[in-house]
Amino acid sequence: MEKLIETVMLFYTPLLLGFLFEKYVKVSESFSKDLSKLVLYVLLPALLFDSIYTKSIGGSFGELVVLTVFAVFTVLFFLLISRLLFKKSLELSMTLFYGNAGYLPIAIAYTLWGADAISLIGFYIIGNNILSNILIPVLSAGDIKRGLDRLKRFPPLYAVFLALVLALLKVEIPGLILKTVGSVGDLAPSLALLVLGLDIASYGSFDKDGLKVYLARQAFSPIIPLLAFSLGMRSLPLYVLVLEAPMSPAISNVILAQEYDIKPEKVSRVVLTSTTLTILTTIPVLTLLFNTILI
């Protein structure tokens, strides 16, 4: 029970503070965007680098790569589902298959399982983000080059690959430097949730299609970890997959929608509606599950 309360408090307190701060202080429009950039360009890369380097320096790559493979499969699976449910509505299709693989799951996983889970999520991010950032430009305009160009501006991927290369080359990073990087990265989960609370307070509005996307993700997501379990996946990698599979749409969907003119205002409402529903329903259920059954 104590672990359950701790998980809930650590997850929802930054969200609530961000929500209340926006409601009662009325920050500038650029405030949330600037904080998001801080998380994306500094804190999240530091967290991923520290976790993946520490995990990989001992040569434990197998389960990490498996998470990348399952992330790719998950994107393709939900792409197929989206085509069946939403036909040619790319604004709904993209929000179904491009899930939030970083901000939300990291905040929960870090509290429950520590750095080992973050390294697994880092490799899940590789498959999820690379494939999604290629698919959306291709589906919207057949433009794979612009999708690859966007990936060049996604710092967490650089952190993952740099950590992996240094680990493979057996480059020993001094303990003080690694500790410093880790302490910076530790700020990422809470600040990311704070930013999300700000965004919900600023832009949150219910959208019925956001509800459809949310329900579709929840209805079909159990298939992914069940398949992994049938193939022999167990323990922490399976837990991470259970956590990742039902996550709401990635915030990056909004940026891609603006870049490729895919009804950006609609995509924003869908993302925020689905994210809010995930926070209020899915995450409490998962938190209870992990604390009573899997831990």
Q: What DSSP state is assigned to residue 249?
A: B
Domains and CATH numbers, the chain: 2-287 (1.20.1530)
**The pair of three-digit structure tokens given for residue 33, joined into one six-digit string:** 């965007």
Q: What is the pLDDT of residue 115?
A: 82
Please write the tens of the pLDDT for every residue from 99-130: 999 988 998 998 889 888 999 999 999 999 99
Q: What is the pLDDT of residue 237?
A: 94
- How does residue 1 score in pLDDT terms, banded at 50, 70 and 90? low
Residue whose tokens read 């995450």: 283
Q: What is the pLDDT of residue 177?
A: 95
Phi, psi of 36 (to 5 degrees): -60, -40
- How does residue 203 score in pLDDT terms, banded at 50, 70 and 90? confident
Please write the tens of the pLDDT for every residue from 20-77: 998 898 778 788 888 888 998 999 999 999 998 988 876 667 788 999 999 999 999 9
CA atoms of 295 and 289, how far apart (whole Å): 9
**In the predicted structure, residue 16 carries a pLDDT above the cut 90:** yes
CA atoms of 201 and 293, how far apart (whole Å): 33
Return the SS3 of 204. coil
Percent of the chain past pLDDT 70, that is, above it, reads 97
Q: Is 209 left (phi over 0), alpha (psi -120 to 50) or beta?
A: alpha
pTM: 0.88
CA atoms of 132 and 93, how far apart (whole Å): 11
Q: What is the pLDDT of residue 150?
A: 72
Q: What is the pLDDT of residue 30?
A: 83
4 burial via Cβ count (<10 Å: 0-12, 13-18, 19+):
middle
Instruction: Residue 104: name the closest of 125, 77, 79 by CA.
Output: 125
CA atoms of 84 and 98, how far apart (whole Å): 16
Please write the tens of the pLDDT for every residue from 227-273: 999 999 999 999 999 999 999 999 889 888 887 889 988 998 999 99
Q: What is the pLDDT of residue 60?
A: 64
Residue-by-residue DSSP string for 28-94? -HHHHHHHHHHIIIIIHHHHHHHHHHHHHTTT--HHHHHHHHHHHHHHHHHHHHHHHHHTT-HHHHH
| Half-sphere exposure of residue 70: CA atoms within 13 angstroms, side-chain side | 32
Residue 199 sits at the vertex; the CA angle it makes with 11 and 78, to the nearest 5 degrees, is 75
Other beta carbons within 10 Å of 255: 14
